[in-house]
């Protein structure tokens, strides 16, 4: 058992009740600060009673207990099961302590269901590796210690120790894909192939081993196509990769940026529309509040952010950070405030700037183009001017000769985030 603080994801159902009871009986586990964590989804009329049951059980066992109430975003197209799982894992990732290990009670039957679901969705090796025993989770790690045990073993343990647990009636609703497999499909498979669950688990392990090899090569390929900006890849370098490798590299890149997983449709759109788009076409693919854009030789990926409204402006003296409409901010560091009040505003077109070391002013649009600033970045770039209209700065990308000299004399700087 790893020498880290332990936290059990405790729903109150049979599986997590067995896991929590077994760990509560372990002196080493208690010495590692064992605690229980219940996620309240609010989807069932008995949800409050379930949380109360979990609290009472933990009180009897003498364990710390906490509840996280989550909002489940229904109607996203993935069904209530997937939406609840996303909300639950988001809560786990956000609330897990530094270096803490979250233990979940998934078992071999769960793994068999997951493999079948992934097969029916046309998953490749990554999906068919199904649930991993270990993975990163927020600031800690997630561990599934029961993954090699059949559910019958957990049922036998619960009967031996006379455990009480919650039976969620939704687990018997065959309208859910996982429940349909559990109650209608897997029993028939086990009649013909009694070792079906073990076979599915073996297949998952073999796929996981294959994925480990592929991921090593993916990491190398990603490093080769990355630009100096981690949010951008070279399109010409990507085109030099085999198509299958390119798809894996794209998914890995998106994952490293912390963006939602790139769907198969996204890979197809990048292949057909973005990789060979004209340098100035601004072709893009959007999904789940994320976007990949093609511009010049690069693919850019990021969260979608709005352009600044053309009529946006705000007085700013530099003393406090200036919040921007897109959620960013402007900050003056190293000095208390500007020499005179300034005006922060959106681009309106036609702006000119006097750059350091230049004898005349340049069109801001041309300067930004020469610096390779993408069009969408230009549209949300805040400008800073004197009250009489002299352009002093564009974000923290460009400073006028006057602003540059003023900041240098004071050891100060502008930061745009």
Of 365, 253, 347, which is closest to residue 299 (Cα–Cα)? Answer: 253
Q: Residue 190, class by beta-carbon neighbours within 10 Å (0-12 exposed, 13-18 middle, 19+ buried)?
A: middle
Taking CA atoms, 146 is separated from 16, 18, 132, in Å, by: 10, 10, 11
Q: Which residues are known binding-site members for ATP?
A: 11-16
* Residue among 74, 75, 13, 2 at smallest CA distance from 39: 13
Mode of pairing for the β-strands spanning 329-333 and 383-386: unpaired
The sign of the CA dihedral 357, 362, 365, 366 is negative
What residues form the annotated binding site?
Answer: 11-16
Nearest to 56 by CA among 10, 100, 92, 90: 10
CB atoms under 10 Å from CB of 127, counted, come to 17
Calculate the alpha carbon distances from 105 to 15, 25, 96, 111, 151 in Å: 6, 16, 17, 11, 10
8 Å CB contact between 106 and 144: yes
Q: Which 3 state secondary structure label does DSSP give 300?
A: strand
254-276 b/e (C-beta count within 10 Å ≥ 16 → b)? beeeebeebeeebbebbbeebbe
CB-based burial of residue 390 (10 Å sphere; 0-12 exposed, 13-18 middle, 19+ buried)?
middle
């Amino acid at each position: 058992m790893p020498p880290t603080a332990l936290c059990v994801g405790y729903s109150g159902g049979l599986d997590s009740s067995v896991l929590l009871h077994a760990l509560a009986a372990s002196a080493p586990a208690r010495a590692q600060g064992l605690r229980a964590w219940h996620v309240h989804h609010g989807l069932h009329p008995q949800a409050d009673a379930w949380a109360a049951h979990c609290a009472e059980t933990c009180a009897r066992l003498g364990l710390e207990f906490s509840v996280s109430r989550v909002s489940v975003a229904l109607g996203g197209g993935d069904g209530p099961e997937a939406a609840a799982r996303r909300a639950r894992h988001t809560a786990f990732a956000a609330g897990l302590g530094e270096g803490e290990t979250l233990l979940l009670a998934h078992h071999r039957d769960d793994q068999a269901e997951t493999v079948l679901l992934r097969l029916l969705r046309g998953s490749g090796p990554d999906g068919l590796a199904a649930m991993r025993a270990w993975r990163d989770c927020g600031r800690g790690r997630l561990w599934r210690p029961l993954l090699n045990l059949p559910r019958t073993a957990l049922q036998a343990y619960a009967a031996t120790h006379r455990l009480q647990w919650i039976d969620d009636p939704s687990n018997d609703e065959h309208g859910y894909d996982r429940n349909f497999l559990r109650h209608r499909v897997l029993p028939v498979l086990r009649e013909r192939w009694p070792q079906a669950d073990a076979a599915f688990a073996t297949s998952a392990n073999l796929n996981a081993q294959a994925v480990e090899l592929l991921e090593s090569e993916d990491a190398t390929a990603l490093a080769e196509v990355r630009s100096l900006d981690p949010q951008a890849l070279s399109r010409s370098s990507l085109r030099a990769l085999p198509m299958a490798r390119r798809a894996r590299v794209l998914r890995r890149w998106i994952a490293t940026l912390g963006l939602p997983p790139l769907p198969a449709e996204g890979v197809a759109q990048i292949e057909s529309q973005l990789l060979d788009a004209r340098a100035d076409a601004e072709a893009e693919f959007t999904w789940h509040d994320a976007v990949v854009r093609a511009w010049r030789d690069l693919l850019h990926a990021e969260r979608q952010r709005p352009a600044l409204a053309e009529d946006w402006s705000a007085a700013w003296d530099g003393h406090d950070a200036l919040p921007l409409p897109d959620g960013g901010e402007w900050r003056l560091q190293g000095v208390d405030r500007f020499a005179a009040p300034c005006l922060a505003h959106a681009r309106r077109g036609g702006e000119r700037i006097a750059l350091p070391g230049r004898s005349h002013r340049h069109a801001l649009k041309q300067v930004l183009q020469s610096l390779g600033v993408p069009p969408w970045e230009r549209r949300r770039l805040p400008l800073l001017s004197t009250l009489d209209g002299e352009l002093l700065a564009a974000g923290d990308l460009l400073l006028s000769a006057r602003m540059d000299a003023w900041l240098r004399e004071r050891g100060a700087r502008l930061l745009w985030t």
